[in-house]
Each structure stands twice: as C-alpha cells, then as structure tokens.
Amino acid sequence: MLKLTKKTDYALMAINYMSYRKPHFLANTRNIAEIYNIPRELLAKILQRLSKKGIIHSQNGPKGGYTLLKAPGDITLGEVIRAIEGPIQIVRCIEGDTTCSQTEQCTIQSPLRKIERQIVDFLDGITIDKLANASVSEVLHVT
C-alpha cells in the first residue's frame, strides 16, 4: 500500500507553516510542535532531515530556527516525500531488488514502472503553494 507516514504529514505541516511567514522568518521547533500538536523531538528530527536535503535552512542559536530555502512554489510534494521517506516506489523490483523469484517471467514490471513514473511526475507537479491554497479538484486538475 502506497501511503505517507506521519513524518511526511508533519514535514508538510511545518513547511506549510513556514510558507505563510514573511521571507527570512525563523520558525522554531517548539512553536510548530505546539501549534500542530506534534511531538517536539520527532519534529526536530524531521526538520533536521529537511535541512540536510536542502529544503529548509537551519540557523543555530538562542534566536535560531528554520526558514524555507526556496519559495513555496518551488518546493514540490515529491521532493518533501523523498526527503522524509526516501525514493517513491510502488514495488521494490523496479529498483533492482533481486530477491523476487518471478523476475524472469514477470509481465507486470514494465506497466508498473510506467505507473510509478506517472505517480512521481504527479507528485513532483504539486507545489507547496498549490497544496496549501487549492481545493482538491484544482490539485488533481479535475473540472
């Protein structure tokens, strides 16, 4: 089952929070954790990971915090998911997992690879500003 973990939910909440602040506003872990009722230690780890992946910037010190490195329109849902979860995959065999005994006679690997590519492209096409400001039908391009 392809589903996002709570870590990704929390990462998106934190990024969304930062996206509504003035440029160079420093968001701190404590405030975000309190506002969204997120365990502070877990949020700190998530924010550190987002910082290492170049999505947000970490400023140390008593007046430190986090700020977005890019505009919300330049951060994609796919980028955040990969930062927290790792590669987006629907099946392991596509990435060269050799433990499957069906590889030689598999007839669905190619179609699944195409579906996975479409999912990745879709997630990479949704930016944080679209996610935060649009209705579901606008994000899905449904009329």
Each of the 143 residues of the chain gets a pLDDT tens digit; together they read 568 899 999 999 999 999 988 777 899 999 999 999 999 999 999 999 999 999 999 988 778 899 999 999 999 999 999 999 998 888 767 666 667 777 778 888 788 889 989 999 999 999 999 887 765 455 555 44
CB distance 76 to 106 below 8 Å: no
Q: Which domains does the chain have, with CATH numbers?
A: 6-139 (1.10.10.10)
CB atoms within 10 A of CB 127: 22
Q: What is the pTM of this model?
A: 0.83
Write the single-letter amino acid at 23: P
87-120 burial code (b ≥16 CB/10 A, e <16)? eebebebbeeeeeeeeeeeeeeeeeeeeebeeeb
